[in-house]
A and B are shown apart, each in its own frame.
With several copies, the nearest count.
Chain A
Amino acid sequence: MKAAKRGSTAKQGSARGAGGNGNRELLSLLRRMWVIRAFEEKVSALYAAREIVGLLHLGIGQEAVAVGVCSLLDADDQVYGGHRSHGHAIAKGADLNRLMAELAGRVTGYCRGKGGSMHVVAAETGFVTASGVVGGTVPLALGAAFAAREKGAGRVAVVFFGDGAGQTGPFHESLNIASLWRLPVIFVCENNGYAEFTPLSAHTKVERLAQHAGTYGIPSATVDGNDILAVRKAMGRAVDNARAGKGPTFVECLTYRLRGHYEGDPGKYRELSQLADWKKKDPIARFVRVLKRRQAASAEDFAKAESDARALVEAAAEFALSSPWPEPEETATQVCA
C-alpha cells in the first residue's frame, strides 16, 4: 500500500522526464528524504536497544543522493545497491514494514530474514539487490542494462556504490564493458570521502572518481551530493541519455556520512570539526531552506513531512517487532529455485 504510493510517486517523477520541480514534486522529495532519515534513526535506536542486531551501515546524511536519483526512475527501472543501501531501497519504493522486518530478522521481512541489512532485496519495486561485497553489484547492473537494451523498452539500470568501490577491479572492468556495449546503465558513486576508517586520499591519487569515466568517453558529472536538485539535474541528463540509447553516464555525488562506518564505530579517525561542518550541509535542512526561499511550502508542510515520516517509521518498527521470527527449519529452504 505505502509501497505502491511511493512507487507511483517515483513514476510521476520520471513521467516528467528530468522530473518536474513543481512544488508538490519538491515537497514529495523532502518527504521521501525524511522517511529515510527517520527510518535510519529508528534503526539506530533499535540497534542500540539490541532490538536489531547485525552489521549495520547507515546512510544518514546521504539521503539526497538516494532520493534525487530514484525520483527520476520508473518503477520498472532496475536499481542495485551495496552495503549501505537502506535509503536506496526506500527511495526506490521499498515497503517500510517489510524492510524494517528484514533488518529485525523477521519472517515478514522482504527476504524472510535470510538477507539482513547489507543484502536488502525488494524485487517488486525494482530494487534488485544490495550486496555485502564492495563493488559486487556493479557488474550485475550492467547485466540488467544489457537485458533492458535487448528488451528495447527504454528501461535503465542504476548502481549505487561508494568511493572505496572505485579501486576495485570489477568497477574498472565494468566501466570498460558499459562503454564498449553502450549499455543504459548509470553509475552513481556516493563519494563520502571515506572507505571504512581511511580517507579517499589513502586509497587513490585520483581526486575525482568521475575521471575514470572520462577515460572511456563515458559522460560524467561530479555534483554536490547534499544538494538534491543538483543530483536530479545530473541524473536527469543521465536517464535521458540512457533511455535514448546513448549509453552509460557516471554521476559522482560528493557527500558525507554523518554517522560511523557501521553502527558502533567509535569514529576516532575523523575530526569532530569536519563532522560539524558537514552537519551544516545536512541535505534535508538545506533542502528545507531552499523550499522556504521558494516559498514552495508552508511551515506546517515542513513539520508534517517529518512527523508523517516518523509516524510511518514507528508503525514499521511496530510491525517488525511484533512479527514472528522465521522457523529454524527455514535455514535450509530456498537454497535452490
Chain B
Amino acid sequence: MPELSYLEAIRSGLLAEMREDSSVYVFGEDVALGGPFGVTQGIAEELGEHRVVNTPISEGTVMGVAIGAALSGLRPVVEIMFVDFITLAMDQLVNHAAKLHYMSGGQLKVPLTVRVQCGVQGNMGAHHSQSLESWFLHVPGLKVVMPSNPADAESLMRDAIRDDNPVLFIEHRALYFSRAEASEGGSGLAMDRAAVLREGPDVTVAALSRMVGPALEAAEALADEGVSVEVVDLRSLVPLDIDTLVDSVRKTSRLVVVHEAVEQGGVGAEVAARVQERALYYLDSPILRVAAPNAPVPCAPPLENYFVPDKERIVEAVHRALSSQPS
C-alpha cells in the first residue's frame, strides 16, 4: 500500500467503502468541510454533500439518527469529534445501538460505525484529552477497535463499516500525522486479532493505540541491555484476542500492559484478570500496568507530559517485572 499517514489511511478506508457501497453515509460536525482534523476532507466533493452530512452540536441525537438510519438499512459512520463528548451520546450508544439486536431477539441489526478521536495531544485540557475505551468493554453488543498505525487504521475502518454490529472506532489524535509503516505483523489481520509486532522470550508488553510506539521504543532500548521483549498490539478490545496474549505469556512468564487511559478501571484490568485466569501458573511476576495516573488530564505542559506514559516508564516496568521475586 502507498505510504499514508494514519489520518489519510482512515480517510482512504472510509472512502473506499463509500465508493463501493452507496449506503455508507457520514454524519458529524463540519464533516463536509473535513472536520477539524481533515479526516473527511474531499469526500463531499467526490461523492456529494448528501453522503457527508454536517450536523448541529447535538451529539446524542445525531448518534440516534445514525442508529435509526442503520436500522433502516444504511451503514452510517458517525463522527464524535472528541471521545470526551461521547458522554452526551451514551444513552443512544449503550441503550439503543448496543442492545437492539439482542432485545429484538435478532429482528434488528445496527451496522453502525462510530468514529471518535481520543487521547492527550496539544495541551487541550481535561475536556479534550480523555481515553474512555474501557467503558465500552463493559457494554455487551458493541465492538471496539483502536488502531495504532496507518495500515491497521485503513483495514480496521473497512472491517468496521462492513460489520453488522455497532463498532466504536477509536482514533488517537497524536497519531494522525504519523507515517510509521505498519510492521508485517500488523497489517491485513482480521479485526479480532491482536498483532505480535516483535517477538521475544523475556517479557510480553501488550500495548494499545498510541502506546504501541513507546512500547516498541522500550523494546529497542531493552534489547541493548540484552532483554528481549515481545510486543503485542491489542488492536481490538472487543473482541479481545486473549489467546494471542496467553500464548505469549506462557512463553515469557511476564506481562506488562500499557495504555494511556487512567489505570483504575482501565483496559489493563480486564487484560490482567483474563490472563491470570488462564496463565497464572506460568507467571513468574505480577502482571504490571503502565497507565496514566488516576487524575483528570491536566493542561500545563509539564503536567501533561507527566500524565502520558512513555518509553522510560515502560522500561522501568519491565525491569520491575524481571526483578520481581516472591517476598
Contacts and interface: CB of A to CB of B under 8 A. Distances in A.
Do any beta carbons of A and B sit within 8 angstroms of each other in the complex?
A: yes
Interface of A: 53-55, 78, 80, 105-107, 109-119, 121-124, 128-129, 131-136, 138-148, 150-151, 157, 164-165, 167-170, 173-174, 176-177, 180-181, 195-198, 202-204, 269, 325-332, 334-337
A161 to B, nearest CB: 11
Contacts of B58: 167-169, 173, 176-177
A121 B108 contact: yes
Given A177-B56, A335-B141, A132 B64 contact: no
Contacts of B62: 139, 177
B96 A132 contact: no
A119 B295 contact: no
Contact of B124 (A55, A157, A164): A55
A174 B63 CA distance: 11
B122 A53 contact: yes
Interface of B: 25, 29-30, 33, 36, 50, 53-58, 60-74, 76, 84-85, 88, 91-92, 95-96, 100-111, 122-128, 140-141, 143, 164-165, 293-296, 298-303, 305-307
Contacts of A54: 122-125, 299
A55 B124 CA distance: 5
Given A109-B105, A132-B127, A198-B54, 18 more contacts: A80-B68, A107-B300, A109-B300, A111-B107, A114-B104, A116-B125, A128-B68, A129-B104, A138-B61, A138-B64, A140-B68, A143-B67, A146-B74, A147-B72, A196-B29, A331-B298, A335-B140, A337-B106
Query: Closest 9 A-B residue pairs measured CB to CB?
Result: A143-B68, A139-B64, A132-B127, A116-B299, A113-B300, A105-B300, A147-B72, A112-B105, A140-B68
Contacts of B298: 113-114, 326, 330-331
B65 A143 contact: yes
B69 A146 contact: yes
A174 B56 CA distance: 10
Contact of A177 (B25, B55, B294, B296): B55
A164 B81 CA distance: 15
Contacts of A55: 122-125, 128
Given A110-B107, A114-B105, A196-B30, A174 B61 contact: yes
A113 B128 contact: no
Contacts of A169: 58, 60-61, 88
B316 to A, nearest CB: 15
Given A55-B124, A105-B300, A168-B58, A335 B102 contact: yes
The DSSP consensus for interface residues of chain A is mixed
Nearest to B140: A335
Contacts of A109: 105, 300
Contacts of A332: 293-295
B104 A123 contact: yes
A128 B108 contact: yes
Contacts of B294: 332, 335
Given A54-B122, A132-B128, A177-B61, A325 B301 contact: yes
B71 A133 contact: no
B108 A143 contact: no
**Listed residue (B58, B68, B126, B301) with the most chain A CB atoms within 10 angstroms of its CB:** B68
A170 B89 CA distance: 10
A133 B89 CA distance: 13
B104 A133 contact: no
Contacts of B91: 133, 136, 170
A13 B148 CA distance: 55
A141 B29 CA distance: 20
B124 A132 contact: yes
Given A113-B303, A143-B72, A132 B101 contact: no
12 contacts: A55-B125, A105-B123, A109-B105, A112-B300, A115-B103, A129-B100, A143-B68, A146-B74, A150-B74, A167-B58, A169-B58, A337-B101
Contacts of B101: 334-337
B307 A146 contact: no
B109 to A, nearest CB: 5
B71 A143 contact: yes
Contacts of A147: 68-69, 72-74
A123 B108 contact: yes
